[in-house]
Amino acid sequence: MKQTVSRRSVLQAGLAGAAALSLGTLGSALPRWAGAATRPLSSQRLSDNLLLISGAGGNIVAARDARGLLLVDGGTAAAGPEALQRALRELGARSAHTLINTHWHGEHTGLNEALGRQGARIIAHENTRLWLSTDVRLTPDAAPIKRLSAKARPNDTTYTTGSTALGDETVSYGYLSQAHTDGDLYVKFAKANVLVTGGVVAGQGWPTADWVTGGWISGTAAGYKTLVGLCDAQTRVITANGTQVIGKAELEAEMAIIANLADQLTRMLRKGYAPADMLAAAPAKDYEAKLGDATQFLTESFKSLWPRMAPDA
């Protein structure tokens, strides 16, 4: 009962806040992962039949077989169609028959409407399908993100793992538990030895979890661990954003940073630190040269622990 009242209060505060804010301030209220850069598009060939397209809001990996393309993620609704045309052209295909959503965020699901209408198989974690089936309000100040149409939603979901054949390639995917959201999938191309991390590893800056839809910093650290376990020394790792293809060593180095910060923030929360106390302690100061200003990441990560660690949770 207490939770119901407090949730309603939050929603009402959100409505009042939205009315008071000008459009110009709405963007700054959104977490960084909700505003990834789009364009210019660029592409990198990962193997004869495998292509990485960057700059579409989130990275897209396209793989070709005799029937057409399998895509891992679709960029934003604005940039996705252009990225799809580029993938079709560069890989010599006419259409895409399969789309895998690594998670529900709009930087990755921008092709769901178009490909869903064409009858594509859309694979995702069941929680991703649920988030895409409802309106989501990420911050009290932001307008709700509208649900996708029924045809655009994932139509082949898993709670755990799955795989699909693509020519002589095996494409496997699996759940990263509650990490960046509560519906994150990795995707692995076995023959090409390419691992797609989805939102759990940002690739540009800090991997901020979306705690509103079930992500949190300790889960993000655990997600890194699962991903590292899927790599060997030759694996090429494709992150959520950016043009840089990384390897197991870089993934392990970043995992150590996130796990260290998860520990530090958990200890600070248990000591009763307020967010300002936590920021004043500068737990990420040694890492900012590598990953950039950590203020937003730390703030969101600290919040992500509240529903998990607070005494009345």
Tell me, what amino acid is at 139? T
Q: Nearer Cβ to Zn ion, position 33 or 297?
A: 33
CB-nearer residue toward Zn ion: 49 or 178: 178
Q: Which residues, including other chains, have CB under 8 Å from residue 256's CB and lie 6 or more apart?
A: none
Q: How far is the CB of 251 from Zn ion (least distance, A)?
A: 17
Distances (CA, A) of 163 to 113, 123, 124, 190, 196: 23, 10, 12, 10, 14
**Which residues have C-beta within 8 Å of that of residue 253, sequence separation ≥ 6?**
none
By CB under 5 A, the count of residues binding Zn ion is 3
The bridge status of strand 96-100 relative to strand 121-125 is parallel
Instruction: Report the DSSP beta bridge partners of residue 98.
Output: 70, 121
Q: Which is nearer to Zn ion, 37 or 279 (CB)?
A: 37
Q: Which stretch binds Zn ion (CB under 5 A): 36-44, 159-167, 191-199, 243-251?
A: 191-199
Applying the rule CB under 5 A, the residues between 22 and 41 that interact with Zn ion are 33
CB of 103 to Zn ion, least distance (A): 5
The span from the CA of 310 to the CA of 293, in Å, is 27
Q: Which of the residues 135 through 164 are near Zn ion (CB under 5 A)?
A: none
In the complex, minimum distance from the CB of residue 3 to Zn ion, in angstroms, rounded to a whole number: 26
Q: Which long-range contacts (CB under 8 A, 24 or more apart) does 35-38 make?
A: 36/107, 36/204, 36/240, 36/241, 37/241, 38/75, 38/76, 38/78, 38/79
* Pick 157 or 208: Cβ nearer Zn ion: 208
Task: Please give the Cα distance from 304 to 73 (Å, whole number).
Answer: 25
Number of other CB atoms surrounding residue 23 within 10 Å? 7
Would you say 33 or 131 has its CB closer to Zn ion?
33
Draw the binding track, 196-215, toward Zn ion (x: CB under 5 A; -: no contact).
---x----------------
Residue closer to Zn ion by CB (options 174, 199) is 199
CB 65 within 8 A of CB 92: no
Two tokens, residue 129: 């399908």
Q: Considering the rule CB under 5 A, would residue 110 count as an interface residue with Zn ion?
A: no
Tell which one of 86, 105, 129, 236 touches Zn ion (CB under 5 A): 105
| Region of 82-90, 148-156, 194-202, 260-268 interacting with Zn ion (CB under 5 A) | 194-202
CB of 271 to Zn ion, least distance (A): 30
**Closest CB 185 distance from Zn ion, rounded Å:** 12
Of 48-56, 105-113, 228-236, 243-251: span binding Zn ion (CB under 5 A): 105-113
**Nearest CB to Zn ion, comparing residues 49 and 181:** 181
Q: By CB under 5 A, what part of segment 245-304 binds Zn ion?
A: none
Considering the complex, state which of residue 199 and residue 219 has its C-beta at the smaller distance from Zn ion.
199
Q: Which DSSP category does 148 fall into?
A: P
Task: Name, in order, each residue with C-beta under 8 angstroms of 123's C-beta and a sequence gap of 6 or more.
Answer: 98, 99, 100, 101, 154, 156, 157, 158, 162, 164, 173, 185
Tell me the closest approach of the beta carbon of residue 132 to Zn ion, in angstroms. 13
Residues in touch with Zn ion (CB under 5 A): 33, 105, 199
